[in-house]
Chains A and B, each alone.
Chain A
Amino acid sequence: MQLDEHLFRREAGRMVAALTRLFGVQNLALAEDVVQDAFCRALEVWKMRGVPENPSAWLMATAKHRALDVVRRERTSRTFAPELGRLLETEWTLAPAVEEAFATETIRDEQLRMMFSCCHPRLPEEAQLALILNVLGGFGAAEIADMLLRGRAAIEKRIARGKKVLAGGKRLFDLGDAEFAARLETVQRALYLLFSEGYHGASAEAPVRAELCEEAIRLAAMLRAHPPSATPATHALAALMCLHAARLPARLDAAGDLSAFEDQDRARWDRARVAEGLALLEQSAAGTTVSAYHVEAAIAAAHAAAPRVGATDWREIVSLYDRLLAIAPSPVVALNRAIAVGERDGPAAGIAALDGIADRDRLARYPFYPAARGELELRRGERTAAHAAFADALALARNGAERRFLEKRLRACTL
């Protein structure tokens, strides 16, 4: 039987949720120990007897038994989940309380509460992301460091601090709390950032970053499964994730390098994902609020609707970017708009738009700003200017994939 490589990771997230429900969030470390024990046991036993029919159920059952043992051993010296009171102290209710904690619906709720708790306003965004990936996603510090382009020690510090804040809260975020709507926005933003990190970082050298996209999509699905958090903005966020993720298979060329948007083979787009994204976009149209996610999803949909890059409705896309700038102005959005203007009105207009970006000094370290200029100069035949722009871009390249891509563009200027 083939083991899904994500199995352990995902089951870890679910087991931690169930165990935290029993032990209380202040005993998160204990919950993680029990999960580790369950995995060790699984490796020992499955090596000898083979992988069971239902590995997930096997892991859960093992965690349940360990939880019972731990509670019986520790109940005189520890306090467990305050919500359970003394129900863990007595054999009348201990076993059923454990059963209940491991029920599918309970785990679903606890994972959602955990997600909301990880997005604590006192934690910097990066800590929120690291915490979500670690506690909900089952990723280790080293993997998270790779995903977020940080050092491992820094990530370990973030996670440790995050867990301290979690424990200090005494209990997980209550989904009925008055702060729900505000916290939901923070959660959405965190998932958006996770997805972006994964999408923009995905390359042959960093396949794990495509996994980040999948993780963000999975977590967004959890939000959608719970009616109060299944808002139009959540659906729009999920739509934009699907529509972008659909393009991932075409992002790399045969050599595993980044390919330019115009050169991407759209036949390799995941059409099922596109369909899913469009359906979610439909759903997000309920109600009157238009969030930045809505507009970004609409832009992604406009791209997805074009069978070839030449068939893209750039008028539509520019007007969507106008809308996005009104709702959520940023230099990167303005940059993307300028590129679209270049497509709609020609390279000179595009360059004028680039020059007109407000706060463009914030793009000073962003390689795709000079690269965009390079593309437009090349398009209007100004090879020298294009070369200079790509040289600037190359100097700002942040990894091997970007370097190789920009070197290729530089070479195209000297032909």
Chain B
Amino acid sequence: MSEFIYLYRATESDRKANMGTPELAQKSMQAWLGWMRDLEQKGHIKNPGQPLEVTGAVVRGSQKVVTDGPFVEAKDLVLGYTVIQARDLKEAAELAKGCPILAGPSGTVEIRPVLQGAM
């Protein structure tokens, strides 16, 4: 088994469409519960991760400047992450297909293998 990170992205309008009303939010939350429960039961979750607030702070460069941010294009904003165990990248991608973030047209799951350090 190898480790992969899922990075979730979706635009604000997609988020509103999926979570805008209490009923929609309820449905969406249940979808996340269903998908994650399935992954957990099959032993694919290394770390369930967390959803993230959209802005916080950014520390930049050797000067270590701290600013508010990040302010990036909505479609590039990472909304959260999960650490997965899977046989290979192909399986990790297959498992990602069930992710509720994909309900909207802009929803994406970026899958990145964890880089294993060498000595």
Contact = CB atoms under 8 A, between A and B. Distances in A.
Interface string B42-56: 000100111100000
B32 A96 contact: yes
A99 interface: yes
Contact of B50 (A87, A92, A95, A96): A92
Given A85-B40, A87-B40, A96 B48 contact: no
B49 A92 contact: yes
Contacts of A97: 33
Interface string A85-112: 1110111110111011000000000000
A160 to B, nearest CB: 34
Which of A87, A96, A99, A100 has the most CB atoms of chain B within a 10 A radius of its CB? Answer: A96
Interface string B32-74: 1100110011000100111100000000000000000000000
B36 A93 contact: yes
Given A92-B80, A92-B82, A99-B26, A86 B33 contact: no
A92 B51 contact: yes
Interface residues of B, number: 16
A61 to B, nearest CB: 13
A108 B90 CA distance: 41
B78 to A, nearest CB: 14
Interface in A327-377: none
21 contacts: A85-B45, A87-B33, A87-B36, A87-B37, A89-B48, A90-B48, A90-B50, A92-B36, A93-B32, A93-B33, A93-B36, A93-B37, A93-B48, A95-B29, A96-B26, A96-B29, A96-B30, A97-B33, A99-B26, A99-B30, A100-B30
Interface of A: 85-87, 89-93, 95-97, 99-100
Given A90-B48, A92-B32, A100-B33, 10 more contacts: A85-B40, A85-B45, A86-B45, A86-B48, A92-B51, A93-B33, A93-B37, A96-B30, A96-B33, A99-B30
